[in-house]
Amino acid sequence: ISGLFKQCTKGVTVKLDDDMLKHYCNEDTFIIDIEQAQDDPSCCTVTLVELSPSHFSQST
């Protein structure tokens, strides 16, 4: 993994470190997006795309 990122509902993407990642225990709040790294095809980048609150109200 060459990078681990979080994209919030407002579209802002930030790089996550180990301490920030520890706070993500609810996997229902985001989608995991995995892409091949542009600089090294043997690696990938992982982005946690945060779901909007409206997504949860529509699923019931």
pLDDT in tens, 8-44: 888 899 998 888 877 776 667 888 899 998 888 899 9
Is 45:24 a contact under the CB 8 Å cutoff? no
Structure tokens at 56: 């949860």
pTM assigned to the model: 0.68
Confidence at residue 36, expressed as pLDDT on a 0 to 100 scale: 92
pLDDT attached to residue 26: 65
Question: Is the confidence at residue 54, as pLDDT, over 80?
Answer: no
Q: What residues does each domain of the chain span? A: 3-55
Cβ-Cβ contacts under 8 Å for 37 (sequence gap 6 or more): 2, 3, 43, 44, 45
Q: Which pLDDT value is given to residue 20?
A: 82
